[in-house]
Every structure is written in C-alpha cells, then in structure tokens.
Structure 1
Amino acid sequence: MLGSKYVLGVTGIFMIFSSFLFITVVLNFLQIDFSELQDAIFFFLLLIDLSKAARLANFALNSCNEIEIKNNIAKGLSVLGPTITLDTAVETLVIGIGTLSGVPRLEILCYFACLSVIVNYIVFMTFYPSSLFLLLELSKGTSLKHQNISAIPFLESNEKTNPIVERVKIIMTICLLLIHLIIRQSFQRNVDFHMTIDKTLISSYIVITTYLSYLFNFCIDNVIVLILLLALVIKCLYFETIDNKLDVRRKLSSTNEVGVQVNCLDLTKITTNITKCIKTVDECVSISTKELDVDCLTDYEIIQLVLNKHIPVYQLESVVRDSKRAVMIRRQVFGKEERYKNIFRSLPVDNFDYDKVFGACCENVIGYIPIPLGIAGPIKINNHLYNIPMATTEGCLVASITRGCKALALNGVESKVVHDGMTRGPVVRFPSASRASVAMNWLQNRNNFNLLKQKFDSTSRYAQLIKLKPCIAGRYLFIRFVATTGDAMGMNMLSKGTEKSLKYLQERFLDMELLSLSGNFCTDKKPAYINWIEGRGKSVISEAIIQSTAVTSVLKTTVSAIVDVNISKNLIGSSMAGTIGGNNAHAANVVTAIFLATGQDPAQNVVSSNCITLVEPWGPKGEDLYISCTMPSLEVGTVGGGTILSAQGACLDMLGIKGGHTGQPGENSNQLARIICSTVLAGELSLLAALSAGHVVESHLKLNRSAMK
C-alpha cells in the first residue's frame, strides 16, 4: 500500500514531467529554438500549480474503494475546475501583457509563461486525474480511511477565491502594465538581448553558470522578472500554505471525533490521526431525515446510519440517489461480518448498470453473477437464419444444440404460434355455493363478458381480454382471465386489468369476497395440467424433416434408432413417471439457457418447458426423419423485466427482436417463442441421436468435466 505522501509525491512528479513533455512537444511543433528559452525554466516550475494537484489528490485519497475514488476525483474536478479555469484565463491575460512590453527577452519569457499556463491547465484537467486514479488503483486501495492517514478533504463546494492571491494578480497586472506603458518607450531602443548561446552547451554546469551570469546582469527586465519571481514564490510557498493550514484548522474545529485529541498547533499529528467522518451520528441523522443533500455524507457516515438502524439497508438507493454507490455501501455493511470478507472479493461488482436494476429487477443488490454466454447455430427458422445466444454453465449443451442445427441446415425448421394469451386466476368466495353458481353463470354471458372486457382493456394500451374461464369449488369461484399483452410477457398487465374487473364484479355481487388476486388457477411457475391443456403465454409448434444422409453423417446414428429411443424414453418413460408436460428429452435445458440470455423470468421455465417431442420415419421408404416439438405454454416477452438490462438487450438485438414491434405489437415476443421452440427441437434431435448411438457419456466426459489442476 502506498501512503498519502508517496501518492502526492508521485502524482506531483507526473504533473511536472507530463507538463514539461507536452510543452516540449508544442515548442517543437511551433519550431521554437530551445536555446532562447532555457533561461525561462523557472517560469515553467513556478506556474505549475502543485497546490491544486495536491488538493485533488487528497480528495481522491479520502476514499474506501474504486467507485468512491472515481466519484471523489469527479467531485474534486467539479469544484476545482471553475476556479482553475478562471485562474488560467486571468494568468494568461496578465502575463500576456508582458508580450506587449517591447522588451524582447521579457516578451519571449511571457510567451513561454502563457504557453506553460495553458499546457498545465490541459494536463491538470485531463491526464492528471487519470494518472491519479491509476496510481490509487495500482496501490490496491490506498485509502485514508483505511490507513490512518490524513483524510481531510481540502475541497469545499463553496470554496471562495483567496483574496491574497487576487492581490498578487493585481500587483502582477500593474507591474506588467507599467512595463508596457513606460519601459517600452524609454528602453526599447537601448535594450538588446540578442544573447547567443552556442547550441553545443549541453553540459549542465555551463548552462547553470550562463544562466546565473545573465540573471545577475543588472537590466531593467531582469529586475522586473526577479520581482515577479519573488512574488510568485511568496504566493506559492507562503500564502497558499497559510491558507491551507487555516482551512485545516477551520475543518478540525468542527470535528468531534472520539479518541482524537485536537491540537490546532500540531497539524502533523492531527492530519495523520483523522481517519473517519467529521460528523456525529446525530448530525448525519438530521441531514438524512430532513432530506438534505446526502452527497455531503461520506460512505462511512452512511454506514454508521445503517448500523444504528436509522437507514434500512434496502433503502440505500433511495437515500444516496446513486445506485452504484448504494451497492458499494451495502457490501461494506455486510462485509463487516467475518464470513463475508473474503467472499465479497470473488463477487463482481464493477461494470454493471445498477440504475436499470433498481426498482425493476432486484433489491438489496450487492453485485452480479456472471454466467458464460455461448452461441449456437446457425439455425434456419421459417427461411431465416439465427444464431442463438445461450447462457449456461452446463458443458456440452451449446455444442449439442449446434450439432442439431447443423443436421437441420438443409430444410430448416417451420414454426407457428397457434395461441397467445397470458393468464391470471383470482379466487373469490361467496356466502353459499348457490351464490357462487349465480356469479359463474353471469360470467358466462357474452354481454357481461363484454362489460368486464371494457374495464380490463381500459388499464393498458396492449392488454386485451380475450377469454374468461370460471371454475367452481363449493362456495369458492376461480376465474381464469386470459389476455394478449403485446410484446410484454404480461403478468403485471394481467394483474392490473384483473383487479379492475373484479372491482366491477364486486359492484354487481356485493356479497362477493376477494380472497387473492392469484388463486393458483393461472397457473404460474408450477406444474399444472391446465397450462398443458389450455395453454399459457405462447402456444408454439415447430417441425422439421431431416434427410437420412444428415442423420448418418451429422448425427452418427439411424432413423429407426432415434424413433425407438423417442418412443421408449419420451413417451413411455415419461408416462411411467407421471410427468406433466414432460414428454421430451431436455427442453428445460434450452428454455432456461435462452431465458437467462434474453432477460426472461428464469422461474417460468417450469411452465415454459412443457413440451412433447414426436418423431417418426418419413418419406416413401421411411428413410428420412420427421420431428416436431409442441410447447403449449411459453411465457416470454421482449419488453419489461430483465430485457431492460444491457447484456440481455444485446442478446435480443442479436435475434433482431429487441423491444416492442412497431408495426405489429406482439410480433417480437411471438418470434422469440418460435426461436425457442425451434432451438428446443434442435436440442431434442441431437440428444436423441446421442442416446441412440451411445455418445452421451463420451461427450460429457470430454466437454462437461474440468481438468483437475
């Protein structure tokens, strides 16, 4: 770990070196002779504002982690930027007056000084912050809060201009004006500084002696330069230092840090002992409860509020109004527990857009889980080629799907959506079964359905009620609402529309009691015959014919062997097990991998993986193979949910179905359903072939097991 003094030293050296380097480049570009400027090197050193660089460095050092370093550097630039920009403009104008003095050597020096000011400004605003962040990153968390090093920020959002500095600038301006107005007329004809220095004087000794002999040569411009030099030295070494010390004392006077003895006369001890926030918990509570600007609270202070139960950990995003910062603070809160300290080091947190997650996808976020993303295909679906993104940790899966796609390459896959309708099934209760039956009969009337449809459809531009299915059990009435939802998966739309329809129904049946908006008659995320029979979401069928040559050359088996395995495994075996919608080889593998890649709800693979795979010989002689996959309940969408995240949106974009379809709402989600069903078909084909040929164990040993190291 680097200490703060080393960080300041290294960054200061970089500031000087990079400024000198860039000035050299500019001088070469302008074709200026260096021999004319070697006696103006002191201008270069004095005009580098290392105090501002030190302030920015100290602000960055008051950080606990990478994101806080970035934020503190950005805040430091936002505070120092306007001041430095103004100072640069003023200094350029003030020193620029010297270029009009008529004294040749002084004009050259002022040209060099102006150039130094501008280059130093560019370096400070661009390269210096980057190098500062890189240095702290390489030092692996150099943090004043963690190392008992001075953590006092030298910046304030309301920092005012130093009046002493302003007076120095005024004195400089007056001096240079006098040079321009008086000395130009009096000495212009007599002053001649055509000093010729042999370019071979490379030796540092010769350069220094030549410079000193010239400096003590009594000339009016030398006197002016010396006065300006002394003024700048006093400004940088005395007034700025006193101003910083006063600023430190002012800050320390408001510090109430337990265990720290404040002695304003001993600044060295103070700046190496202040390691935590300068606000008490009560002050922090006052700021947070009054909804003031919480940016003035450090991460440490907010953590204290969380630990003292003043801020719930799940509300950090709302309090700090910075999703990434909230995640980092939450990690520090939980990281105080010994069992989590090492775990969090392996849990990624950077390079993720947490703003999209907050309020949409997840709560109490502490990072994210990277999942390998493979690409299978290409597969031809309805005469269009697609490469399929699949997020999975199961080796052999993507390779198997790709092999199936290769076997389907000649004829491709034909796929159709035969039904579209998301469902929500509330449960209501009546005083008696007879009253429940009356309500059931009322719902089955077409005119009454239209009344409920008007209420339902008014809740969304895309949700359209298409069917009601009531079912009675004693005095309980279950009502299954079925509606199209455009390109969204549609659960939120169904819930909103169903709630409004039930309120209208309750006005007609005052004795009706709403027990639950979801009565498991939907049925969502659970195996259910109603989804297998009635369908839910998209009902899709995909089919393909594979020529015998592809079966033997690509799949390495025979048509009869694949048919035999499908009958014995997918039809008889699944029936013996009593599965619901499980008459397939591994549809859930493909569904889940594409769901994760495209931002679908992974839990809905339970219903979405319902699939029956049928295989039979095809053609006059039965040499070719026919295969179909029927999936009655694919619950997918291309808007909302996890589809808003960048990576998942990119996968949808890869398929050409990101977002809502502009001309035909619902078409993008229908296309996603067709793609998933067709990819399932490719996976079924490949696995059945591998099982029939006895290749499953061999392939998994090759692709699904890591080498022990």
Structure 2
Amino acid sequence: MNKLLKNFYKKSIEERIEALESIDRFDASLNKSAGDIVFDHLIENFITTYEVGLGVAPDFLIDDVLYHIPMATEEPSVIAGAAHAAKIIYRNGGFKIDEINRVMIGQIIFKNVSDPKALIDYLNSHKETFKDIAYKAHPQIHNLGGGLLSFKVEDKTQGFVCFYASINTLDAMGANTINTILEAISHFVTIDYKAEVLMSILSNLAVDALVSASVKIDPKHLKNSDVIHKDIAAASTYAHIDPYRAATHNKGIMNGISALMLATGNDTRSIEAGAHAYASVSGKYIPLTKWYVKDDFLVGEIKIPLALGTVGGSMGILPKVKLSHKILGVKNAMELMKVAACLGLAQNFAALYALTTDGINKGHMRLHARNVALEAGAQPSNINEVVNHLVTSKEITVANAKEFIKTLS
C-alpha cells in the first residue's frame, strides 16, 4: 500500500529508490536498458538510444487513493511543479474524478459517392453483419468483452461518406485492434456494395474516452490568500478569451500528461493531438481546464480525452516502461486515465499559481542555473556552489559558470 513520500525532493537518488522500494513501488531488475538488439527491431535505422530523465511526482491523492507518478521529461520544473501542486491539493482533500468513459473511434472514409443516402441506408441496414465481421476479424477482443459496440454514418459532402465505429479496446491503446476491424468491414463493403474506400483508420479525437476531474482549494493554503483564488480564476477566464494564451495554458497541462505518457509507453503524439483537437471542437481553441471561485474556495476542473493503454506496444518490451508501471501501480487503462487527468490539472494549477504570484521565472531560474552549471562542467561536489553563484549574480550563463568554477580549483 502506498504511503506519503515526505521530503522526497530532498533525498539522494539512492534514498528515493529506497523509499519506493519500501512500499514495493520499485524493481531494480527493471532499471536497465532494453539493449541495442531490441531497439534495432523496435524502430527503423536504429543507431543508438536517446535518454531523458525519469523522475517521480509523489503524493497524488485521487479519489482517496495515493499515487506516486513517474514522469519522463527533459524540462526542468515540470516534476517540481506537479509535486508542489499535489502537496497543496492533498491538504485540500485531493482530486475527485467526476466522469470517465473509454470507447475508441475509428473511421472508414468512402470516396466518390454519387448517392450518399443510398450508401448510408445500406450501411445502416447491415449492423448485425458488421458485428459478425468485426468478431471474426478480432475474436479475442470480443471474447474478453470488447470489440465493435456501434457505429454511425454521415454524409460529409463533396462525395465523401464516413462510417464512424465505436470500439472497446479494453486496456490496450488499440490502434491495431481498431484498424483490423475497420479493414475487415471496409473489405466486405467494397465487394458487396462496390463502394470505393479512401482509407480505414482510427481517430485520435477520442471524444468517447473523456475524463473529468476536479479540485477544491482553500486559499488560506496559498500565498496572497486574500486575492490568489480570484487571480487564478481571472487567468483562467482570460485563457478562454485569447487563443494565444490558451495555447500556452494547454501546453502546460500537457507538460505533465506527456511526461507520464512517455514513461508508461503510451503514444504521446496521439494524446497531444487528441487534446488539442478537443480544445477546438467548439470552433474556437479554448483551455482544457477551468478555474473559478465558489463560496470563497478556488475550484479547478479538467475535461480531456485520454485514449490510454496499459498493455500492448512497448509496454511489454521496454524494462523502464515496466518500471514506470511498477512505480505507478495502476491496475487498468481507466485508472491510468484518471491519474493522467489529475496530473494535467495539477500541472496547470502549478503554472497559474506561479504566474499570478512570483512569475514563472523565479521557479525556473534555479533549475535553469543547474542546467547551465552542468553544461559548464560543474561536478556533484561543487554544483550547488556554482548554482548559488549564478543565481546570486543574476548572470546565468555558461561563461559566468566556467569562470566561477576556475576559482574553485
């Protein structure tokens, strides 16, 4: 059972690993590379591996369950921001999941359709046939309770008709499952109806795999407690007005979600595409979160499509992906979706809190200085001293760091 990992950021690497091991959330045998042979088969034209750091944002209380979230990222302050937000939200009762669904969408797009109504009527009259075809195309997923659930057909004009399939892929991201079912159905239709198929493919706009989560924060736990809740709400309101701000607002949300997706072996590009497309479904690009004041409390909400998986892809191949799942400890894809949504909400809160108090740079500067110090050649024995010098001098440059390092030798 998980417990709070207090002062996790103050610990050494070894102490952090020991803390995770003490709650059975770390497996040293998985802390290794898959090796060149595996990667050479996994991708094309392989030459070497490219690394980013894997860290942990601890103490996320979600529906009264505690999670420690693995995050793979190269960007300073992302994990720190998430962890700080989680600490504040923990004191306020944690995150609540308000809604969750998990159905994927696939499309068969027909071209050169001279009589859209006739094709639509034909497709709608073959529901049982298509369910039988889907079963035969992928019997395993159907036997486990998934598979083709339903479909709808729309005239998209200009000679296009689209068949939208709703498919339950269980705990898999499901790209191969969806495409296999779609191609089987499209093959039948091309022969039986002589329709022309342009393509059969999943959609990354997963509007039937939505997660809604919320938090309620007492401003007494925050800086500038008399106005901070109003300022964060105002920042949220402005992001709904201005798409230039909304883009950066949503980028911050995805900082956390994409780091978790990368760590757990999910398709980061799919999730990013779906999130930003969903932000635009109203015809205007808007934030994926909303913050407002209610009864003098700050309330935050997120609603986001997250077509995630816990099986398939690289998840059974890469040791460090397996390690991330060990750290997180989720049992299925829907549980992972809950965690990801809450992480995105936390990341957004951290950014808005920083922006409306000290400004974004104050939190970033020390972390930026650490990167500059490393680039200048600082060693573990002197890096803190170099960072302190850079921050104090307010000249965070490689040249300044190198000159200071010379004085230490």
Common fold: TM-score over 0.5:
yes
Q: Which has the higher helix share?
A: 1
Matched, 1:647 2:313: no
Given that residues 591 and 608 in structure 1 are in contact (C-alpha distance below 8 angstroms), is that contact kept between their aligned partners in structure 2? no
Partner AA of 2:307 in structure 1: E
State the alpha-carbon separation in 1 of the partners of residues 53 and 337 from structure 2.
22
Q: 2:137 aligns with which of 434, 438, 459?
A: 459
Q: 2:252 aligns with which of 578, 586, 609?
A: 586
State the alpha-carbon separation in 1 of the partners of residues 246 and 77 from structure 2.
28
State the alpha-carbon separation in 2 of the partners of residues 407 and 458 from structure 1.
51
Matched, 1:413 2:114: no
Matched, 1:496 2:180: yes
Q: 2:340 aligns with which of 653, 669, 676?
A: 676
Matched, 1:549 2:220: yes
Partner of 1:296: none
What does the per-residue CA deviation read over 1:57-102, in whole Å, with 9 as the maximum and x for residues that have no partner? Answer: xxxxxxxxxxxxxxxxxxxxxxxxxxxxxxxxxxxxxxxxxxxxxx
Q: 2:44 aligns with which of 339, 363, 384?
A: 363
Partner of 1:625: 298
Structure 1 residue 700 displacement after superposition: 1.3
Partner AA of 2:107 in structure 1: G
State the alpha-carbon separation in 2 of the partners of residues 404 and 578 from structure 1.
20
State the alpha-carbon separation in 2 of the partners of residues 464 and 355 from structure 1.
34
Q: Given the superposition, is the C-alpha separation of residues 417 and 353 from structure 1 closer, same or farther in structure 2, using an over 3 Å criterion? A: farther
Q: How does 1:165-564 map to 2 (within 5 A)?
A: 351-354=33-36, 356-357=38-39, 359=41, 361-410=42-91, 411-430=93-112, 432-434=113-115, 436-445=116-125, 448-460=126-138, 461-462=140-141, 463-472=146-155, 473-509=157-193, 511-518=194-201, 522-524=202-204, 531=205, 535=207, 538-552=209-223, 558-564=228-234
Q: Given the superposition, is the C-alpha separation of residues 696 and 464 from structure 1 closer, same or farther in structure 2, using an over 3 Å criterion? A: same
State the alpha-carbon separation in 1 of the partners of residues 104 and 39 from structure 2.
25
Instruction: Give the 3-state SS of the residue equivalent to 2:101 in structure 1.
Output: strand
What does the per-residue CA deviation read over 1:99-150, in whole Å, with 9 as the maximum and x for residues that have no partner? Answer: xxxxxxxxxxxxxxxxxxxxxxxxxxxxxxxxxxxxxxxxxxxxxxxxxxxx
Given that residues 471 and 478 in structure 1 are in contact (C-alpha distance below 8 angstroms), is that contact kept between their aligned partners in structure 2? yes
Partner of 1:29: none
Instruction: Give the 3-state SS of the residue equivalent to 2:223 in structure 1.
Output: helix
Matched, 1:605 2:271: yes
State the alpha-carbon separation in 2 of the partners of residues 687 and 677 from structure 1.
16
State the alpha-carbon separation in 1 of the partners of residues 101 and 245 from structure 2.
28
Q: Given the superposition, is the C-alpha separation of residues 670 and 354 from structure 1 closer, same or farther in structure 2, using an over 3 Å criterion? A: farther
Q: Given the superposition, is the C-alpha separation of residues 556 and 352 from structure 1 closer, same or farther in structure 2, using an over 3 Å criterion? A: farther
Structure 1 residue 605 displacement after superposition: 3.4
What does the per-residue CA deviation read over 1:471-490, in whole Å, with 9 as the maximum and x for residues that have no partner? Answer: 32233222222201011000
Structure 1 residue 409 displacement after superposition: 0.6
Partner AA of 1:380 in structure 2: L
Structure 1 residue 548 displacement after superposition: 2.0
Partner AA of 1:559 in structure 2: H
Q: Which has the higher contact order (CA 8 A, sep 6+)?
A: 2
Given that residues 186 and 200 in structure 2 are in contact (C-alpha distance below 8 angstroms), is that contact kept between their aligned partners in structure 1? no
Instruction: Give the 3-state SS of the residue equivalent to 2:44 in structure 1.
Output: coil
Partner AA of 2:228 in structure 1: T
Partner AA of 1:422 in structure 2: M
Structure 1 residue 577 displacement after superposition: 7.3
The percentage of aligned residue pairs carrying the same residue is 20
Partner AA of 1:517 in structure 2: S
Q: 2:362 aligns with which of 674, 679, 698?
A: 698
Given that residues 422 and 485 in structure 1 are in contact (C-alpha distance below 8 angstroms), is that contact kept between their aligned partners in structure 2? yes
Q: Given the superposition, is the C-alpha separation of residues 702 and 514 from structure 1 closer, same or farther in structure 2, using an over 3 Å criterion? A: same
Given that residues 233 and 291 in structure 2 are in contact (C-alpha distance below 8 angstroms), is that contact kept between their aligned partners in structure 1? yes
Q: How does 1:16-27 map to 2 (within 5 A)?
A: none
Instruction: Give the 3-state SS of the residue equivalent to 2:310 in structure 1.
Output: coil
What does the per-residue CA deviation read over 1:407-448, in whole Å, with 9 as the maximum and x for residues that have no partner? Answer: 101210012553212222222235x521x3211123234xx2
Q: How does 1:41-190 map to 2 (within 5 A)?
A: none
State the alpha-carbon separation in 2 of the partners of residues 457 and 615 from structure 1.
44
Instruction: Give the 3-state SS of the residue equivalent to 1:443 in structure 2.
Output: helix
State the alpha-carbon separation in 1 of the partners of residues 301 and 323 from structure 2.
29
Instruction: Give the 3-state SS of the residue equivalent to 1:457 in structure 2.
Output: helix
Instruction: Give the 3-state SS of the residue equivalent to 2:172 in structure 1.
Output: coil
Given that residues 53 and 74 in structure 2 are in contact (C-alpha distance below 8 angstroms), is that contact kept between their aligned partners in structure 1? yes
Given that residues 566 and 615 in structure 1 are in contact (C-alpha distance below 8 angstroms), is that contact kept between their aligned partners in structure 2? yes
What does the per-residue CA deviation read over 1:343-382, in whole Å, with 9 as the maximum and x for residues that have no partner? Answer: xxxxxxx9533454455x3122222111111111211011
Given that residues 292 and 300 in structure 2 are in contact (C-alpha distance below 8 angstroms), is that contact kept between their aligned partners in structure 1? yes
Partner AA of 2:336 in structure 1: L
State the alpha-carbon separation in 2 of the partners of residues 502 and 586 from structure 1.
40
State the alpha-carbon separation in 2 of the partners of residues 458 and 354 from structure 1.
37
Q: Given the superposition, is the C-alpha separation of residues 671 and 502 from structure 1 closer, same or farther in structure 2, using an over 3 Å criterion? A: same
Given that residues 423 and 481 in structure 1 are in contact (C-alpha distance below 8 angstroms), is that contact kept between their aligned partners in structure 2? yes
State the alpha-carbon separation in 2 of the partners of residues 470 and 404 from structure 1.
44
Partner of 1:614: 290
Unaligned runs of 5+ in 1: 1-349, 525-530, 662-667
State the alpha-carbon separation in 1 of the partners of residues 181 and 302 from structure 2.
32
Q: Given the superposition, is the C-alpha separation of residues 375 and 351 from structure 1 closer, same or farther in structure 2, using an over 3 Å criterion? A: closer
Give the TM-score taking structure 1 as reference length.
0.43
| Matched positions, count | 324
**If you compute each CA radius of gyration, which structure gives the higher value, 1 or 2?**
1
Partner AA of 2:135 in structure 1: D
Q: 1:636 aligns with which of 297, 300, 308?
A: 308
Structure 1 residue 508 displacement after superposition: 2.9
Structure 1 residue 578 displacement after superposition: 8.6
Given that residues 404 and 686 in structure 1 are in contact (C-alpha distance below 8 angstroms), is that contact kept between their aligned partners in structure 2? yes
- RMSD over aligned Cα, in angstroms? 2.5
Given that residues 249 and 348 in structure 2 are in contact (C-alpha distance below 8 angstroms), is that contact kept between their aligned partners in structure 1? no
Instruction: Give the 3-state SS of the residue equivalent to 1:676 in structure 2.
Output: helix
Partner AA of 1:566 in structure 2: S
Q: Given the superposition, is the C-alpha separation of residues 656 and 577 from structure 1 closer, same or farther in structure 2, using an over 3 Å criterion? A: closer
Partner of 1:197: none
Given that residues 433 and 476 in structure 1 are in contact (C-alpha distance below 8 angstroms), is that contact kept between their aligned partners in structure 2? no
State the alpha-carbon separation in 2 of the partners of residues 670 and 419 from structure 1.
8
State the alpha-carbon separation in 2 of the partners of residues 358 and 426 from structure 1.
33
